[in-house]
Structure 1
Amino acid sequence: MTAQEQRLERLRDRVEQHVQSIYHDNPLHADLGGLTDQLLALMRLDGTVAMPRQYANHWSERDAIVITYGDSLLAEGEKPLATLKRFLDQHTAGLVSGVHILPFYPWSSDDGFAVLDYSSVNEALGDWQHIGAIAAEYDLMADLVINHCSSRSLWFENFLKDQDPGRDYFVTASPDMDLSAVVRPRTSPLLWEVKTARGTQWVWCTFSHDQVDLDFRNPEVLKQFVSIIRHYLDNGVRLFRLDAIAFLWKIPDTSCLNLEETHEIVRLLRTLVEHARPDALLITETNIPNRENLSYFGNANEAHCVYNFSLPPLLLNTLVTGDCAYLKQWVMSMPPAQNGTTYFNFLASHDGIGLRPAEGLLSDEELGVLIATMQGFGGHVSFRALEDGQSRPYEINIALFDALQGTVRGKDELGMERFICAHAIMLALEGIPGIYLHSLLGTRNDYERVKHTGHSRAINRHQWRMPELETALADPHSSHGQVLARLKELLAVRRRQAAFHPNATQFTLHLGGAVFGFWRQSMDRRQSIFCISNISDLPQQLNLLDINLIEHHQWMDLISGEHYTSRDQQLTLAPYQSLWITNLPDHAAP
């Protein structure tokens, strides 16, 4: 047997173990060996097989991702995907490594997350050539909307007609079943009554009645998604965001959240994807309490990256209260990501600021104060259903720039500095940073879009007309231009520092409630960076002795360029000022 044949045999054995774990008691598919071969063939792994390196870090300090819808930027006579690439080339080239384009497929609702056809690009945005042009210049992240699809998709229409493909693709349940334990992110009824060729059926809808949950107990559904992944790889996708993955597998009388079969499917997809393209990454989107979220790392055999969902609400709470105690406590509790895994850090996205990841970290009273503060800044609140039929706040819907326009005492004149401080903290933390396009541009709350769509999340999904945006960016007095310029400066500095590698060492500093700090050290131990931020609206005093600078090193602040000549130098931090104090001159940092 040749070495290649041996590798292929080992891969086949590994995939079959995944398949056995998922479907060992499934009557729908007895030929599990045949299923293994079909999956390998669909991923085109039945010939030459790439060999991924275990625990390899396919990222560095040079990585940062822009998060955006495909049509957030509009120009007359130009497809939005072409406009997006033009903006990235002109304003972020050399500063960001990749772009997450939110669902760019034909869809029926939820701004793309009710997919009609996974194999096509929405014609209103562009085509696969536009996607390929972006993927040729940037690491492309795409959504694998894997838990559900549109009720107007061909699959669901075939389900109604009792035809293939789609006949047995969707989860059904009896309305008499006790489903009270099922965790819900929405308040709509879980089951939806539909008329089919087989009579009345009740289909499972975790999110909305236009988003019908797919039944992965049927291996045909798994095969469809493996084929979709291969198609995306062929079109340049490198990072796969597994949307709503925590809800994937359903077992009555359970929460139907984070079930073992769900984790095993993630492990299977990782095995297939990394053998097809060794530097491809899986990122799990699991907007759930922190401990559950971390479980998707597995033993470095599930997600390469997990969203740091607790960061947005905790950092927001820190900056509006002027007290970093909870943020510090959480950062200290986070385990260092082992090689081959890392965190995906973000402060804002197309969704709201999730509150579930803050459960157990902030009290109900503290969450209530945060919610009331955000409502005072024009934010809305979305709710989820509880077992007893009651509802609970699920997320705050607000543009981040508006969310940081004041404190719990109300609005003030320090919003810009508070906003930049938030990003200076996020960019320095262990992990890969993701910056929402509307944060990069300092976009404000879009009340007209909320009114037009009827959805609270639209408040942070503005569409910029390019002439208007270009005018704003060219105006030195515009907050939009100032935000972009200052964030670009931070990005430019960050990518030159080895101590900002996503897996570089991180330790939390104890500098009081109003000053948040942590220490990063490069993996070769040459560079140290002390990341210190005044998270209050008052000046704060800092003695360099408090951060234990090594005496024989020369130290400087990477942000201001100031050099420090004495270890016992006393500094006054302006409200929301951040320092990145390093022992290596910026130009000498690797």
Structure 2
Amino acid sequence: MTETADLPIEEILFQKVIDHLRVIYPELDIRAIARDLIHTMRLDEDCQKPLAHKNLWDQTDITVITYGNSILSDDNNQKPLHTLHHFLKTHFTMLINSVHILPFFPYSSDDGFAVSAYKQVDPPLGDWNDILRISTDFHLMADLVINHCSAQHEWFRNYQQGKDPGNGFFVEADPRDDLSMVVRPRVTPLLRPTETPDGTRYVWCTFGHDQVDLNFRNPKVLAKIVDIIRLYLDMGIRIFRLDAVAFIWKRAGSICLNLKETHEIVRLLRTLIEHANPNAVIITETNIPNRENLSYFGNANEAHCIYNFSLPPLLVNTLISGNCQHLKNWLMAMPPAQNGTTYFNFIASHDGIGLRPVEGLLDDSEQEALVQTMENFGGQISWRALDDGSNKPYEINISLFDALKGTVSGEDQWQLERFICAHAIMLALEGIPAFYLHSLVGTTNDYARMKEHGHNRAINRRQWQEQELNERLADRESHHHKVFHRLRQLIQLRREQPAFHPNATQFTLHLGQQIFAFWRQSLDRRQSIFCINNISDVPQEISLNAINLIGTDEWKDLVSDTTFNDMLATVTLAPYQTLWITNRT
């Protein structure tokens, strides 16, 4: 019998694709579908062998998340993508090596996530040449918005006319179907009545009536998505963010979330992408409870990275309550990621602080206290509908800088220190850290933009004029300068430490409820770092003996550059102070 390893890579790939399709389309001619997908990806011309369990990252990998038009030039003739590229090169060269540009395609709503043309760059932002130039200087992440497209997309307009491509591209349901269990993050009606040549049809809209869900039961839809992926690879995109991917397969009578076909489609896309570029990375964006989120690692054969959605609400809750018990419990329960997979850590984003990921981690009263505190600091609340007809808070919309302006007791003088502490924790945790651009520069709530756009998420989507932002970053008295300067220092320190490799060993330490601490050890076991954070607004004392520093090693705090000679000494941490105590000097 011929061993699989002895077969040509093209035959191995074909069989893998067949195996995926057998789960997704058991009743169809999957061999023809497999050949079509492989041809679309040009894997019949150039097929590369991916390496299993290979880490495609190290401690120097740090991402910035931004809209293509978050930075605008005073020159009206300069496209925003060009301005963004210039800003990134000016301020982040040798610090940040990856950039996630949020949807840069033509769209009709949701600040880009209702895509009306997948193969174009939105003309007001720039063109594909701008994308290619950015991808030469940074690893570029792009959104693959595959659960839905805009109601203005050509496919949906064709669907309304009974034409191709588009006919059969959208999920239809009967209002009499059992849809009571469907989980979704909106309060709008699930089904949209739509007139077609065959009469009124009811199309599925998980996120709203301008975002119409694509029908992956139709293999022609899958083929279109694979064709889009091929273009993105050609345009220099290396990291694919699968937006809202948990919702892509529907079955009446179920929750329509995380179904087996959904996971198999992720595995299929992984197989196709990594055979085209073994260094490409898939990240799943699944804003769901923690256990369900972890399932998207599969057996190291689905996502390379998963968003650590529980981190933002748990960390904010920790810092406003002065109690890290829930954060410690969560960290202890997080399984170490296998080689070839890792966590994608973020604490602020273009959306908000999601609350679904802390279901089962914070009780109702703790969530209510978190929501109330954020409202006191100017935050807004977005809601989702429950199956009993009631609504429940889904996410908190607020800039992270404002979210940390105080505690449950109110505003105080520790906003900057609390904000820096939050990012120091993120930078040190197992995984790849990702900074929202507005956090890096200390952007505050934008009430004018929220009012102008009429939705809560706009509060944290400010557009800066490049010259104004540069002036604020240069002003030493400005909080923007202080945030930017200190975060740059921490980023540089992280990049130099092997113990901060995304897959380095991590253990939780127990130093009380006001000190959040954990230990990291490099893959070669030569470096240890004890990450110790006072998450309260009062000084805290710890004994170095409590963390068992090895007496034969030399230890120092990387952040303050303080050396420790007495292993029995007591150290006092100021409110929100961070220590990174290491034996590697």
TM-score by length of 1: 0.98
Quote the residue 1:61 is aligned against: 59
| Mapping 1:260-271, distance limit 5 Å | 260-271=260-271
Quote the residue 2:434 is aligned against: 434
Task: Give the aligned residue type for 1:575.
Answer: P
Quote the residue 1:14 is aligned against: 16
Quote the residue 1:588 is aligned against: none
Asked if 1 retains the 8 angstrom alpha-carbon contact of 2:54 and 2:340, the reply is: yes
For 1:518 and 1:344, locate their aligned partners in 2 and report how far apart those are by CA, in whole Å: 18
Is 2:543 the partner of 1:543? yes
Quote the residue 2:449 is aligned against: 449
Asked if 1 retains the 8 angstrom alpha-carbon contact of 2:509 and 2:518, the reply is: yes
| Mapping 1:311-326, distance limit 5 Å | 311-326=311-326
Quote the residue 2:43 is aligned against: 45
Task: Give the aligned residue type for 2:141.
Answer: M
For 2:407 and 2:394, locate their aligned partners in 1 and report how far apart those are by CA, in whole Å: 21
For 1:470 and 1:46, locate their aligned partners in 2 and report how far apart those are by CA, in whole Å: 49
| Mapping 1:141-290, distance limit 5 Å | 141-290=141-290
- CA deviations on 1:61-97 (whole Å, 9 max, x unpaired) are 0000000000000002311111111111111110011
Is 2:323 the partner of 1:342? no
Quote the residue 1:332 is aligned against: 332
For 1:480 and 1:521, locate their aligned partners in 2 and report how far apart those are by CA, in whole Å: 33
For 1:501 and 1:395, locate their aligned partners in 2 and report how far apart those are by CA, in whole Å: 31
TM-score by length of 2: 0.98
Tell me by how many angstroms 1:3 deviates: 9.4
The secondary structure found in structure 1 opposite 2:480 is helix
Asked if 2 retains the 8 angstrom alpha-carbon contact of 1:300 and 1:338, the reply is: yes
For 1:546 and 1:108, locate their aligned partners in 2 and report how far apart those are by CA, in whole Å: 57
Is 2:33 the partner of 1:31? no
- How many percent of aligned residue pairs carry the same amino acid? 61
Quote the residue 2:352 is aligned against: 352
For 1:31 and 1:388, locate their aligned partners in 2 and report how far apart those are by CA, in whole Å: 41
**Which has the higher mean CA deviation after the structures are superposed, 112-121 or 467-476?**
467-476
Task: Give the aligned residue type for 2:64.
Answer: V
Q: Which runs of 4+ in 1 moved over 3 A?
A: 1-5
For 2:274 and 2:431, locate their aligned partners in 1 and report how far apart those are by CA, in whole Å: 20
Aligned length: 581
- CA deviations on 1:444-474 (whole Å, 9 max, x unpaired) are 0000011001100000000001121111111
For 1:226 and 1:466, locate their aligned partners in 2 and report how far apart those are by CA, in whole Å: 37
- CA deviations on 1:405-441 (whole Å, 9 max, x unpaired) are 0000000010000000000000000000000000001
Tell me by how many angstroms 1:47 deviates: 2.7
For 1:536 and 1:497, locate their aligned partners in 2 and report how far apart those are by CA, in whole Å: 27
Task: Give the aligned residue type for 2:162.
Answer: D
- Specify every segment of 5 or more residues in structure 2 that has no aligned partner in the other structure, as ranges: none
Quote the residue 1:72 is aligned against: 70
Quote the residue 1:368 is aligned against: 368
Task: Give the aligned residue type for 2:67.
Answer: Y
Asked if 2 retains the 8 angstrom alpha-carbon contact of 1:401 and 1:444, the reply is: yes
For 1:439 and 1:69, locate their aligned partners in 2 and report how far apart those are by CA, in whole Å: 13
Calculate the aligned-residue CA RMSD, in Å: 1.1
The secondary structure found in structure 2 opposite 1:94 is coil
For 1:528 and 1:313, locate their aligned partners in 2 and report how far apart those are by CA, in whole Å: 28
Quote the residue 2:566 is aligned against: 566
The secondary structure found in structure 1 opposite 2:195 is strand
For 1:83 and 1:543, locate their aligned partners in 2 and report how far apart those are by CA, in whole Å: 49
For 2:246 and 2:5, locate their aligned partners in 1 and report how far apart those are by CA, in whole Å: 37
For 1:322 and 1:58, locate their aligned partners in 2 and report how far apart those are by CA, in whole Å: 36
Quote the residue 1:299 is aligned against: 299
The secondary structure found in structure 1 opposite 2:541 is strand
For 1:91 and 1:470, locate their aligned partners in 2 and report how far apart those are by CA, in whole Å: 10
The secondary structure found in structure 1 opposite 2:209 is coil
Is 2:138 the partner of 1:121? no
Tell me by how many angstroms 1:175 deviates: 1.1
For 2:321 and 2:400, locate their aligned partners in 1 and report how far apart those are by CA, in whole Å: 16
Quote the residue 2:92 is aligned against: 92
Quote the residue 2:137 is aligned against: 137
For 2:564 and 2:352, locate their aligned partners in 1 and report how far apart those are by CA, in whole Å: 41
Tell me by how many angstroms 1:197 deviates: 1.5
Tell me by how many angstroms 1:276 deviates: 0.2
Asked if 2 retains the 8 angstrom alpha-carbon contact of 1:4 and 1:49, the reply is: no
The secondary structure found in structure 1 opposite 2:269 is helix
For 1:227 and 1:479, locate their aligned partners in 2 and report how far apart those are by CA, in whole Å: 46
The secondary structure found in structure 2 opposite 1:135 is helix
Task: Give the aligned residue type for 1:262.
Answer: T
- Specify every segment of 5 or more residues in structure 1 that has no aligned partner in the other structure, as ranges: 586-590
The secondary structure found in structure 2 opposite 1:143 is strand
For 2:473 and 2:53, locate their aligned partners in 1 and report how far apart those are by CA, in whole Å: 42
Tell me by how many angstroms 1:48 deviates: 3.1
Asked if 1 retains the 8 angstrom alpha-carbon contact of 2:46 and 2:276, the reply is: no
Tell me by how many angstroms 1:196 deviates: 1.1
Task: Give the aligned residue type for 1:20.
Answer: R
**Which has the higher mean CA deviation after the structures are superposed, 47-56 or 133-142?**
47-56
For 1:74 and 1:457, locate their aligned partners in 2 and report how far apart those are by CA, in whole Å: 20
- CA deviations on 1:160-204 (whole Å, 9 max, x unpaired) are 000000001000001111201000100000001011112111000
Tell me by how many angstroms 1:4 deviates: 9.7
- CA deviations on 1:345-404 (whole Å, 9 max, x unpaired) are 000000010000011000000000000000000000000000011010000000000000
Task: Give the aligned residue type for 1:7.
Answer: I
Relative to structure 1, the CA distance from residue 525 to residue 115 in structure 2 (aligned partners, 3 Å threshold; closer, same or farther) is same
For 2:12 and 2:239, locate their aligned partners in 1 and report how far apart those are by CA, in whole Å: 25
For 1:174 and 1:31, locate their aligned partners in 2 and report how far apart those are by CA, in whole Å: 28
For 2:147 and 2:84, locate their aligned partners in 1 and report how far apart those are by CA, in whole Å: 28
Task: Give the aligned residue type for 2:52.
Answer: Q
Asked if 2 retains the 8 angstrom alpha-carbon contact of 1:8 and 1:46, the reply is: yes
- CA deviations on 1:220-250 (whole Å, 9 max, x unpaired) are 0000000000000000000000000000000
Asked if 2 retains the 8 angstrom alpha-carbon contact of 1:161 and 1:196, the reply is: yes
For 1:481 and 1:87, locate their aligned partners in 2 and report how far apart those are by CA, in whole Å: 15
For 2:177 and 2:47, locate their aligned partners in 1 and report how far apart those are by CA, in whole Å: 46
For 1:473 and 1:201, locate their aligned partners in 2 and report how far apart those are by CA, in whole Å: 54
Asked if 2 retains the 8 angstrom alpha-carbon contact of 1:4 and 1:48, the reply is: no
For 2:324 and 2:546, locate their aligned partners in 1 and report how far apart those are by CA, in whole Å: 17
**Which has the higher mean CA deviation after the structures are superposed, 505-514 or 176-185?**
176-185
For 2:288 and 2:160, locate their aligned partners in 1 and report how far apart those are by CA, in whole Å: 33
| Mapping 1:451-466, distance limit 5 Å | 451-466=451-466
The secondary structure found in structure 2 opposite 1:182 is coil
Task: Give the aligned residue type for 1:391.
Answer: N
Task: Give the aligned residue type for 1:13.
Answer: Q
The secondary structure found in structure 1 opposite 2:315 is helix
